[in-house]
Amino acid sequence: TDEPLVLGIETSCDETGVGIVRGRTLLADAVASSVDAHARFGGVVPEVASRAHLEAMVPTLDRACETAGVALDDVDAIAVTSGPGLAGALLVGVAAAKSLAFALGKPLYGVNHLAAHVAVDQLEHGPLPDPCLALLVSGGHSSLLRVADVTGDVVPLGATIDDAAGEAFDKVARLLGLPFPGGPHIDRMAREGDQVAIDFPRGLTSRRDLERHRFDFSFSGLKTAVARWVEARERSGEPVPVADVAASFQEAVCDVLVRKALDAAAAEGIDDLLIGGGVAANSRLRALAGERAAAVGVRVRVPRPGLCTDNGAMVAALGSSMVAAGRPPSSLDLPADSSLP
């Protein structure tokens, strides 16, 4: 075919990802994670992540090319996450992408990590509906976005005012003694628990909060409520019902996420909800969104779990959309911008 072959590089956090797509067809998605190196610190250590990216970059590139059955020379464009993310980690990917673009004489596209979490869904479910509402929930972000064009027209409607949803999962997992990153462990534990066992608070849902923060999220109060509840239990000498705490906490997060996403969809008159980012891998979030959206006639799109967490395919997907949309490439002095909006 004559659709462009696009290579995408992702290094914004602890995953070194290299993805290769042709048009909207996924050819390779190689990911090397440094998560084990961070586990004993209970969170991602920026310096450790940067070094791991440096070591993993070339092997991951090789693996992606091998899987896709292409040579670097065949690639038509190089896309890379230029932000937001950890500055040192981003720099490794940006430097690698610039080097490739320069050496191969191919255009370079700096892409926004959050838009890439949205764009990746096209690899699985085809072109994005215009407009669609995106609920983006990861370890670093929790936002509601109105997406008319993922290559440029993305309007934020709301975001977390404190912790990201994934951060809340990780912190609560930690206080329950579960390993980092905690999201998948809470997801698994919760299946054996009762989600109505404990009534944890739903952040920014009081009538007063809704006036100013209708589409914003807050998870730090929830995290504190879980910590207090667990402490009280420990003090009383009774065992902590970990599965019930996990299920009730998870329910509080998912309830607010889905409630606000559907409220935003209704307010914007949008019938398509896309959920992306690492927390979109959560089984309860997927089920609850599916149930409640169906009840109000909203269609839900969620990429498969492996494409929800950070990867290179999402960057390649957005790069491919930028090529298709005729967006101008970035210059070779593209900066890594850790606080890209």
166 binds ligand KG4 (CB under 6 A): yes
CB closer to Zn ion out of 94 and 198: 94
Question: Which of the listed partners (ligand KG4, Zn ion, none) does 169 bind, with a CB threshold of 5 to 8 Å by partner kind?
Answer: ligand KG4
Instruction: Single out the segment in contact with Zn ion by CB under 5 A; choices: 135-143, 261-269, 279-287, 313-321.
Output: 135-143
Contacts of Zn ion in 289-318 (CB under 5 A): 310
Mark out the alpha helices in the chain (DSSP H runs): 35-39, 46-68, 87-104, 113-119, 121-125, 165-175, 183-190, 207-213, 220-236, 242-268, 283-295, 305-308, 313-324
Interaction between residue 181 and ligand KG4 (CB under 6 A): yes
CB 282 within 8 A of CB 247: no
Q: Tell me which DSSP letter residue 217 carries.
A: B
Q: Does 137 carry a binding-site annotation?
A: yes
HEC states along 219-247? CHHHHHHHHHHHHHHHHHCCCCCHHHHHH
CB 198 within 8 A of CB 230: no
Cβ atoms within 10 Å, residue 66: 12
Rule CB under 6 A: say whether 138 interacts with ligand KG4. yes
Q: CA 9, CA 100: separation in Å to the nearest integer?
A: 11
From 94-102, 122-130, 181-189, 195-203, give the range in contact with ligand KG4 by CB under 6 A.
Answer: 181-189
Q: Residue 193 binds which entry of ligand KG4, Zn ion, none, with Cβ cut-offs from 5 to 8 Å by kind?
A: none
- Phi, psi of 247, deg, nearest 5: -65, -40
Binds ligand KG4 (CB under 6 A): choice among 6, 7, 9, 13: 13
Residues 6+ apart with CB under 8 A from 285: 137, 253, 254, 257, 258, 275, 279
> Among 50, 82, 282, 330, which residue interacts with ligand KG4 (rule: CB under 6 A)?
282
Contact between 169 and ligand KG4 by CB under 6 A: the answer reads: yes
- Does residue 272 belong to the site contacting ligand KG4 (CB under 6 A)? no
Indicate the DSSP class of residue 160. Answer: B
Is 310 annotated as belonging to a binding site? yes
Exactly one of 33, 112, 138, 282 binds Zn ion (CB under 5 A); which one? 138
Q: Does 279 bind ligand KG4 (CB under 6 A)?
A: yes
Contact positions vs ligand KG4 (CB under 6 A): 13, 138-140, 166, 169-170, 181-184, 187, 277-279, 281-282, 309-310
